Amino acid sequence: MSMPGSINALGKALVEFTTDGAFPEEEVSALKLNSEALPSAIDALSQAKSQLEAEIHTINEETAGDVATWKAKAASLQADILRSRQTANDILRQASEPAVSGEATAEAAERVGFLKAELTYNARVREALVAIKDVNNVLDQAEQACRDQHIVEALKLLDKAWKALDALPVGLGIKALRLLDVRAIELKETVHNVFEQVWQGLIQVDAHQKRVSIQQTAEDNHMTITDAATALDLFEETNQRMAHLWHGIDSAIICHRMDVHSARVPAVMVKDGVLQVEGSADRTIDALFSDLNIIFSYLDERLPPGLIESMSTLMMPEISSRIISQWLDPAVPPSLKDMEAFENIMAAAKSFCRQLRNSHFLGFNELQDWVEDAPKVWLTKCRETALDMVRTQLLGGLGAPKSVERIEKQMISQAEGQELAAAAEEDDWGAAWDDQGDQPQDQALPPNTKQILKPAEDLDEDAADAWGAWADEGDEEKTAEPEAPAPAQESNDDDDDDAGDAWGWNDDDANEEPETAAQPQLQTQQQGSGAIPAGQRELTLKETYNISAMPDPVLELIFAIIEDGALLSETEHQGSLVAKAAAGLFTLPTLALAMFRAVGPYYYALAAGGNMFLYNDSTYLAEKLTDFTATWKTRDNLTAQAQRSLRLDNDISMLQSFATRAYSNEMSIQKTVLRDLLGGHIKINPSHKTQTGEQSLLIQDDLDSCVDGAIARVRSLAATWESILARSAWRQAVGSLVDTISLKIISDVMEAPSIGQEDAYSIAKQIATVTELDDLFLTSRAAMTRGTPAGAEHEMHPTTEAPATMQYAPSWMRLKYLSEVLQSNLQDVRFLWLEGELSLFFGVDEVVDLINLSFEDNPRTRQVLKEITGNPHPRREEHEQQHAW
């Protein structure tokens, strides 16, 4: 009986023999078979069969497609073989037959065409395969060149490979083409990385150590700087790489050398082939140009021309701008004082530009233009300095006031001299000028820069004696007829008021125009040179006023500029570098004065009495420029060009107009403030088409406070202006303010619907308070030190001294007589009209209105009104006699 192991060995041996054809080992073949071993052997064979069938099934499934393809190809091949055999048989048959049908011929031609197409296609496929192989070989060569660090050769091979790929006679969708393109891109990136390492070996910039090194050949000698330039062109990175190199050189070398604000400027040198900065250099422009030449020469020697051209287009404009703004512009002198040093600088700059051209650098056009336009550059610097000086002077404030004297000489007749002498003795200037009888001519306006009337108290001490001597000569006396004030010159500015309205002749109008500076003048004949005409004498008019610290520096600047222009116009200076700028210098005073007029009002407004200082300063500038112009025309050391080039007349006229406007604006503002204090303005809707009005003083809740506030305002302004304005201008300005108060009170009273007895006395009381302003116009006030507190002189002088208020406030006597009327009964009003001087200051209609306002309508009132209306001009004859005299 056999063992189970022998059974298993029998089944295994049968399976191996069946599947692999292997004979069993001897020990297995020697086994004895029995009926029990056969079932297990059969089972083993069954299992092997099942496993083999499963494997065959799996293989069939996996290779089903290939098998089908093979079968199809085999069938196709079999069919092709059969067709070929049939075709061959047909050809043989047709060849043996003498006649061939047309259909057979067509089929043969078609087959020939097909065969040719197949041959062409096969040829193209072969050509493509050869080209792909060639491209792959080129890429292999490029890869080898990259490993050998032959960057230029590798890039050229890559370029050749891409051109070959573009020329392949196949579509871009071919997988082989895509693989070659990807390989070429990756290879180019590898080449670029290798080039980056080589470039860093050729050019080294150390901003921290302030060093730049440019080598001609890399350490492995496989690449030169020229090759690197070629590689940059192939990479299309020349501009980008040169921009990076420029910024590196700037950070390491140039910015340190050109930093004019640095405490120590280092010197530039080349040591052991390395460009670096160390030590210290002179702060001169010559030293700067010398160091820059070292830098540019180093770059020119070590960089190929293509790289120099690319970098210079980025570098030179910025360097030129720095040279001009930080070194050359500050070195330009603002006058002719340092012109020799400036000419040396221009010569150095020209030499520097010439060396740049020789070194093939580009982009320094700005520097070249600056050097070629030396006259324009210098003139621009002079203009900027002049404007900045005026601006800086204004920014520093008005400074300490300075007292100046205005002197004017006029020719007057003997009669005029006697009249002025009498006025000086009586201190009554109004009498000397009154040619209107019922109204003083003086409109309380400030003096014009060319029309100055010296107050009586400021006349020379022996003036009266001089006039007396004239009277003793027995010549026929003549009265001094004053000329009408000439209208203020129109200005081109939009802010100028109408010339006719600017004189302030309509102060009593509801809508008062801004007041303009003007002054009555003596009717005189200006004498140039020669003997004084018979019967005339020269009168010297003097007056002092204060100016700020502004005019003198401005005048010094203007005079210095003009003198430089005159000097450049001389023959010996025609060869000067800036001789062409001579004509332009004469235009700078106009710009400086324009800056003064444009910026001045803002800064003057910051100081107390600023507008009046602005008026005085502008007047002073106009006077001095007028004197300078007159002197200029008589100088014999000037060239004809210099004589013609000075044109200050328009500037003088504009200064006079500007002064007038400053005074006018100040007076307009202060008058508005006074009217507001006395009642304020009423805001009326413009859509109603009604004029802006003012509230009446009589309806104010606190009448005393309103009047006191206005009076305090006048005294405060009087004290402020007294230390600024000339005496005559001060009186006229203050008189105009006083006249504003007077006109306001008179207007409000005349427009009142009715005035009761209590209201009349209250108004009269306020008028009495206002008339205390008389103490501002006492003659003895002029002898006091300026700056005395307002009101102090009222306590120092006796009330018997006659004030000159009515001379500067035309409505002053109207105000006083209004007070008299308000406090009088009917009989007193009748007396004031018929026997007094009320008719000289009020019209008959105004007096009738006042009586109707203050008195009841009864027979006695009507009788007085009848007498007054029946004699409208009770003192006409006396008035006409005074007017004729």
User: In the prediction, which pLDDT does 788 show?
Assistant: 44
Q: Are 289 and 348 in contact (CB under 8 A)?
A: yes
User: Average pLDDT of 484-512?
Assistant: 36
d(CA 685, CA 841): 36
Q: Give 132 or 647, the one with higher predicted confidence.
A: 647
Neighbours of 199 (CB within 10 A): 21
Q: Specify the number of domains making up the chain.
A: 5
User: In the prediction, which pLDDT does 96 show?
Assistant: 66
User: In the prediction, which pLDDT does 105 show?
Assistant: 76
Give yes or no: residues 879 and 748 share one domain.
yes
Q: Using 50, 70 and 90 to split pLDDT, how confident is the model at 108?
A: confident
Which range has the worst mean pLDDT, 312-321, 519-528, 676-685?
519-528
Q: Give 401 or 580, the one with higher predicted confidence.
A: 401
User: Average pLDDT of 738-767?
Assistant: 89
User: In the prediction, which pLDDT does 82 show?
Assistant: 82
Closest C-alpha among 527, 510, 547 to residue 413: 527
CA 66 vs. chain centroid, Å, equals 85
Give yes or no: residues 527 and 586 share one domain.
no
d(CA 348, CA 367): 12
- Looking at the predicted structure, is the pLDDT value of residue 657 above 90? yes
Q: Using 50, 70 and 90 to split pLDDT, how confident is the model at 95?
A: low
Across 93-119, b (16+ Cβ under 10 Å) vs e yields eeeeeeeeeeeeeeeeeeeeeeeeeee
Q: Using 50, 70 and 90 to split pLDDT, how confident is the model at 132?
A: confident
User: In the prediction, which pLDDT does 51 show?
Assistant: 81
- Looking at the predicted structure, is the pLDDT value of residue 435 above 50? no
β-bridge pairing 267-271 and 274-278: antiparallel
Structure tokens given for 508 = 């009593």
Give bridge partners of residue 678 from the DSSP assignment.
none
User: In the prediction, which pLDDT does 276 show?
Assistant: 92
Q: Is 332 left (phi over 0), alpha (psi -120 to 50) or beta?
A: beta
- Looking at the predicted structure, is the pLDDT value of residue 470 above 60? no
User: Average pLDDT of 681-706?
Assistant: 62
3-class state of residue 704 by DSSP: helix
User: In the prediction, which pLDDT does 678 show?
Assistant: 87
The mean predicted confidence, pLDDT, of the chain is: 76
pLDDT digits (tens, 9 = 90+) for 525-581: 344 444 556 667 778 888 899 999 999 999 999 999 999 888 888 877 776 777 888
pLDDT digits (tens, 9 = 90+) for 158-181: 777 777 777 776 655 567 777 777
User: In the prediction, which pLDDT does 32 show?
Assistant: 67
Give yes or no: residues 708 and 849 share one domain.
yes
User: CB-based contacts of 191: which residues, under 8 Å, 6+ apart?
Assistant: 142, 146, 151, 154, 155, 158
User: Average pLDDT of 857-866?
Assistant: 90
Q: Using 50, 70 and 90 to split pLDDT, how confident is the model at 589?
A: very high
Which range has the worst mean pLDDT, 280-294, 407-421, 626-640?
407-421
Which range has the worst mean pLDDT, 83-97, 150-164, 503-517, 555-569?
503-517
Give yes or no: residues 665 and 731 share one domain.
no
3-class state of residue 882 by DSSP: helix
- Looking at the predicted structure, is the pLDDT value of residue 483 above 90? no
- Looking at the predicted structure, is the pLDDT value of residue 427 above 70? no
User: In the prediction, which pLDDT does 223 show?
Assistant: 78
Closest C-alpha among 759, 327, 299, 339 to residue 575: 339
- Looking at the predicted structure, is the pLDDT value of residue 683 above 80? no
Neighbours of 57 (CB within 10 A): 10
**What are the residue ranges of helices labelled H in 21-150?**
26-29, 37-62, 64-96, 102-147
- Looking at the predicted structure, is the pLDDT value of residue 667 above 90? yes
Q: Is residue 83 part of a domain?
A: yes
pLDDT digits (tens, 9 = 90+) for 344-389: 888 899 999 998 888 878 888 999 999 888 888 888 889 999 999 9
Q: Is residue 140 part of a domain?
A: yes
- Looking at the predicted structure, is the pLDDT value of residue 17 above 80? no
User: Average pLDDT of 142-154?
Assistant: 75
Would you give the end-to-end CA distance of the chain in angstroms?
Answer: 186
- Looking at the predicted structure, is the pLDDT value of residue 239 above 60? yes
Q: Is residue 721 part of a domain?
A: yes
- Looking at the predicted structure, is the pLDDT value of residue 712 above 90? yes
Q: Is residue 778 part of a domain?
A: yes
User: In the prediction, which pLDDT does 880 show?
Assistant: 52
Give yes or no: residues 759 and 669 share one domain.
no
Structure tokens given for 9 = 């060995």
Q: Which of 144, 174, 196 is the last residue of a domain?
A: 196
Radius of gyration of the chain from its Cα atoms, rounded to whole angstroms? 57
pLDDT digits (tens, 9 = 90+) for 753-796: 888 888 888 899 999 999 999 999 887 665 554 444 444 444 44
3-class state of residue 271 by DSSP: strand
Structure tokens given for 61 = 């499934």
Q: Is residue 281 part of a domain?
A: no
Which range has the worst mean pLDDT, 49-63, 96-110, 154-168, 483-497?
483-497
Give yes or no: residues 540 and 553 share one domain.
no
User: Average pLDDT of 707-711?
Assistant: 92
Across 572-599, b (16+ Cβ under 10 Å) vs e yields eeeebbbebbbbbbbebbebbbebbbeb
Q: Using 50, 70 and 90 to split pLDDT, how confident is the model at 681?
A: low
pLDDT digits (tens, 9 = 90+) for 615-646: 999 999 999 999 999 999 888 888 888 888 88
Give yes or no: residues 866 and 802 share one domain.
yes
Give bridge partners of residue 224 from the DSSP assignment.
217
CATH of the domain at 864: 1.10.357
Give yes or no: residues 781 and 858 share one domain.
yes
Helix axes 339-358, 365-372, angle to 10 degrees: 140
User: In the prediction, which pLDDT does 337 show?
Assistant: 82
Q: Is residue 282 part of a domain?
A: no
Percent of the residues in the chain that have a pLDDT greater than 90, as a whole number? 25
* Most trustworthy range by pLDDT among 162-171, 208-217, 875-884: 208-217
DSSP state of 272: T
Q: Give 56 or 341, the one with higher predicted confidence.
A: 341
Which range has the worst mean pLDDT, 37-41, 155-159, 218-222, 398-402?
218-222
Give yes or no: residues 540 and 552 share one domain.
no
User: CB-based contacts of 771: which residues, under 8 Å, 6+ apart?
Assistant: 815, 816, 819
Q: Give 523 or 672, the one with higher predicted confidence.
A: 672
User: Average pLDDT of 679-697?
Assistant: 54
- Looking at the predicted structure, is the pLDDT value of residue 124 above 50? yes
Structure tokens given for 740 = 């504003």
Give yes or no: residues 27 and 141 share one domain.
no
Q: Is residue 842 part of a domain?
A: yes
Give yes or no: residues 879 and 732 share one domain.
yes
* CA distance to 234, 253, 276, 293, 302, per residue, from 206 (Å): 27, 9, 10, 21, 17
User: In the prediction, which pLDDT does 45 show?
Assistant: 77
User: In the prediction, which pLDDT does 721 show?
Assistant: 93
Structural domain range at position 563: 381-401+548-676
- Looking at the predicted structure, is the pLDDT value of residue 252 above 60? yes
Q: Which of 634, 659, 676 is the last residue of a domain?
A: 676
User: In the prediction, which pLDDT does 472 show?
Assistant: 37
Give yes or no: residues 778 and 867 share one domain.
yes
Q: Is residue 801 part of a domain?
A: yes
